[in-house]
Structures are given as C-alpha cells and as structure tokens.
Chain A
C-alpha cells in the first residue's frame, strides 16, 4: 500500500514581468527558504529535491538545475529535474508524490523556477517576441517550428476545434467576463504580477488580437519567479505539522496523460483536450471521487488562455461541454458560486513563470483550503503543442 503524502510547507516569490534584481539562483533559494520556514523545519531535514524548470533557453543553460543543488542546501542528496512543457510544475508535484508514496524518501522539496524575460528581441527592441520564440522551439522540429508554430496558435487550434464542435460556446462576452473576474481575484494576491491591473469585460473585448481568437487580455502573462512546496509521507508529515501548527493538505490523487501531437484519424482529436479529461479523471479515481461536481470546491487551473480554462472545466466534468458558458451565465464561478476558480488570479493575472506556475497554483489551493475551511481542490497543469500534456492533483484538507 502506497504511503499517504501531504503538503506541509509552501511559499512563492513575487511573480514579476521582469526580476532585474535576481537570477534564477536567488529566486529558487528565496522560495525554498520561505517554504522550509513555513514548515518550521531545516533544509537538512529534506531528503530529496524535485526541480520544475521548463525551458533550458530561458535559463540560458542546459541542465540549469545543477547549480541549485548546492545553492538550496541539497548537496549529496537526490535531485531530479522534470520538464514537461507548461505542465512542468504539476508533473513535478506528481513525480515527488510518487517517490514519497513509494517510500523512497520521507520528505521532498518541490521547487519550480523560471526566468523568462531575460530573452530580448533586438530587432523589435522588446522582450515578448523573443520570449514566445523561445517557447516556439518547443514545436515540432521538422514540421511546425519553421511555419510559425507558437504556444498561442497551437492552443488556438484546439479552441477553434472546440468551437467547430460546439458552435455558440466560448462567447466573447463570457471569456471577457472570466478574464475580468480573474483580474478582480488577483487584487488580494500580493505576489501577483498584475495585482493592480483590474480590467473590465469591455477592456478585454477591446484589447487587440494576438492570435485569433485570442485577445491580449485573454492570455496569461509571462513571468519570472519561483514556487516551492515541502512534501512529506504520512508519519513525517504528522510530526512536521505537530511542530509547525499548520494543517496537512493531503495529495489524495494524481493523474496524468500526454496525447498524440499530430491530428487526424487515430491521433489527436482537435475538438477536445483529452489529456485534461484523462488527467483529471485518473486523479479523481485515485482520490475516490465519484462525482467531482459534488466534491471539488476549488480549482487552481492552468489558464494559459481563458477559452482553454472553459474547455478544461468541461473536460474535468465540472460543466457540460455544450454549456461551458454557464460558468458565468449560471454563476458557477462567480463570487459565491459553486466553484472557486483561480483565487490567486491564475496564470493570467498572478503570472506564468512556467516551471513554477502549477506549484504556485498548489500553494494557492493549499492557502485557500486552509483559509476557507474547504475540503477538496483540483490543481491542474497543461502544456506542449495542442494542449498535449496534462497533470492533475487532488488536494484535500482533513
């Protein structure tokens, strides 16, 4: 029988559009220092470290985690890097969970960090085209990179595929309201990159197209920052929690799936995010959740794009495919509604420091479960071309 695994400490750095003051070394150490302090343990008590770093080019180094082993005080201990596109953070949590549940270690540091906006395009004298170019090296090397593949256009393919399948859904006024809602939720997150950037639905609708059908205010923002969790197996978690006085948030389910990267017969179904469906439902099964609409209270969802947030909610089984707009129209995610989605502002407003993002989401879900005395949260990460990768975790507060 696998051991139970719980979160006993968590911390993040502020997420910023640019951290001129810090390298990724210091960002990773900042989050780690705070996480061990939150758990009231010494770094010497941590047996293993799991690094979530997405893109070598962002950090300007292959195996960018290697200096962190010493900087984080983890020398001579187990260390492994996970890199799974946008889903890196969620997959890193999943990997750490597996090692602890399998009794390889008693404690683990899960540290995600990304330094994205050092990239700079000297032809347009701005960072963003170079940041998205760096991500564009993630497209298929033979068939897509040199015809303009980007993260935005590959997710837009799936969103448009969904809209082909379910016409009349993902209405612009609904995506605009969701973006506006997330901007309001970020207002209380002091670590959010856009804490003070509250936008109206009208502003969202008036914002420029980046990649049709996505407008500028319907897309997550690239960030720099780090996020850390301290995980422990059951007995150790209980001992740490007794000492720290903080409740344990148990990881009761994890689920993952990676789809085909090409479309067509026997390959990727472009009208769905099957990886989201499988990842969430595998996590539910492990957690013993029969009906997620009755069990899940908080969703910390990887909102790379607002349209995709809606589709992911449907794939999670939390809203019907044909009526995803009921998230707003029926008030399901509005204040006081059935689901609390991205209370931190999500990746759209807290920010997307890729390797750290889903770990930030787990940090937020843990905070909200404790603060609001709620029982169950779903944490989600999506990534790679055409939303190919998904990892999900179920967090539960006893």
Chain B
C-alpha cells in the first residue's frame, strides 16, 4: 500500500524560484515558476464525530432522519432536506457493504495521486445505510483491473494503521479476498491483511527463434528511438525527464534511456537502473512504441511487469512518445 505522506506538500512538488524564456516566431516569452498556496487549520465542524469515530474508534457513522428514517452515510447533514429539515441523529452502520455501481479505476492520476495509482474509487452502500459512501478501492492481489470489482460486489472497510481523521483513513477491498473472520471483524486494519508482494516474472529458456526475434525487435526499437529523438513534438513528451530502464525479456536484456528529450534503446545491461520492466515477448514493447497498442494497457493486462508502480508515470510518457511521433507525422502530411 502507498506510504502515508508526512508533509502537506511533499518537497518534490515544490519548484525553485526560476524563470526561462522560450522563443516562438522570433518573439521571446517569459515563463516563471509560480504557485498559489494557502494553508488551513480547518474545522471539521458538525462532521467531527464522523471523522473522530474513524480515527479513534474505527467506526463508521451515518445520520438517521427522525421522520423518514433514511440513513445517510456519510452523515453530511444535521437535518433532513426531504422532511422539512427534521433533525437527524448519528447512528453506527456496518463495515461491509455492496458496490452501488461498478467503480472506475484511475490509471493516470492527478499529480497528488500519481504515487497511489492504479486505484479504484467507487460508492459502497454499507449495511444499515441507504446512501453510498465514496471510497478508494484496492485489491490484495496486485494491480486493480476491470472486472474485479463490479456493481453488487461485497466489500469490506479497511482502516489504515495510522489515521489522521480524514476519509483517506479508510478504503475498501473485496470480502472475497478476506477470511470469514476478517470479514466479520470490526475495525479491520491494513496490517492484518496479506498483501501480495510483486515478484519479477521468470521466463522459460528461449528458443533460437526467440533469440532471432529479439535481435530483430531490438533493431526496430532502436530505429524508432532515433526517430523519436529527432521529432520536436515527441521530445516534448519526455522533456525534463530522466530514467534508465532495464528491460528483461525471455531472449535477453536491454536498456531504455530517457534523458530530457533524448530516447535511446541500447543493447546493454545497466548497473543501476531506475526500475525494471519485464515482458516475455519484446514485441509487446515494440508494438507500444510503434503506436499499435498502449504500453499502459500491457501493464494492466499483465503482459508487461514493472518493478515500481510509481513508474506508471514513465510508462505514460512512453505511450505519449509514440503518440506524439505519429501526430507529428500526421500534421506534416495534412499541412
């Protein structure tokens, strides 16, 4: 599971005071690093009992209308707007529920959640509730893929070990991945769950044909990489980015190197790569670079393994590299 952040704004998000000039049509334009920031010591007001119950008691509260009896989770109102603002009272609800609808899965997240993707976010109707609570969704089995959690899937609320009194203190996983005891236990914490540890895949011994294909595909990737490095538009996809990647396949290992606009595919082993990719068939990557299927989807469908989930970010950039090269070629043709 992702680590909890210790600072409100992590250091790597904060740029230096700096500016640069870009020239377009012989005219200079000034670009300045800048930020809007406001800090808060924000009151949770009437929502305080809900967040304190999560933090201190590992309980989920709803609010029940004294007139119509509807139980709303989260308890975002003290009076029911459907009953001429009759008062509501706080009640505890269950920690198991069913998905209201099939949840989306975020692969490309906002800058604040890049290190948490991929994740699901959906709405669960907990036992005893009439409305749906928005929750993050994970699987203990690795990367969350479509079809794993659907409308009606039973899920269980999991409490983070370190809780700060925010909605991110909880998330859900399918009850099918838990023992019956864990499903019934109130206040189940993430440290009580067995999380699958990502393991680098091992490939069978290559045939002569595999080795011949590997040499051919490597050559083709090197040739595309040269075109990408020469393309003004494609270079923009990896501007300011630097990564050394080891790629392991059934028939051999090679390196992909991204360096501020330059992209190289090298027939060599890297001593200390930033991360490792592993795919049995290197054509998976070749197709991605040739814009014949996305590399992102290869990770999702488990044809390509990456050693660090955070490097999804680099995977997106490789997909962009392929798309930007094609876009530039199209624009040239059209114009």
Binding site for B on A (CB under 8 A): 20-21, 57, 60, 121-126, 128-130, 132-133, 136, 140, 142-144, 146-150, 152-153, 156-157, 160-161, 163-164, 196-198, 203, 206-214, 216, 262-267, 270-271
Contacts and interface: CB of A to CB of B under 8 A. Distances in A.
B174 interface: no
A157 B108 contact: no
B103 A157 contact: yes
Contact of B240 (A125, A206, A207): A125
Interface in B239-261: 239-241
A210 B295 CA distance: 12
A156 B116 CA distance: 18
B293 A150 contact: no
A133 B151 contact: no
B302 to A, nearest CB: 14
A148 B113 contact: yes
Interface stretch (B8-16, B185-193, B223-231, B278-286): B8-16
Given A150-B110, A265-B70, A209 B300 contact: yes
A20 B29 contact: yes
B297 A263 contact: no
B1 interface: no
Interface string B87-128: 000000000000011111111111111101101011101000
B3 to A, nearest CB: 15
Interface string B52-88: 0000000000000000001010101000001000000
A143 B294 CA distance: 33
A264 B132 contact: yes
B76 A262 contact: yes
Interface in B125-165: 125, 129-136, 146, 150-151
B131 A148 contact: no
B102 A163 contact: yes
B313 interface: yes
B176 interface: no
Interface stretch (B194-202, B204-212, B327-335): B327-335
Given A133-B112, A136-B112, A212 B36 contact: no
A152 B110 CA distance: 10
17 contacts: A132-B109, A140-B134, A142-B47, A142-B167, A150-B109, A156-B104, A157-B104, A160-B103, A160-B104, A160-B151, A161-B102, A161-B151, A197-B327, A206-B292, A208-B295, A216-B323, A270-B123
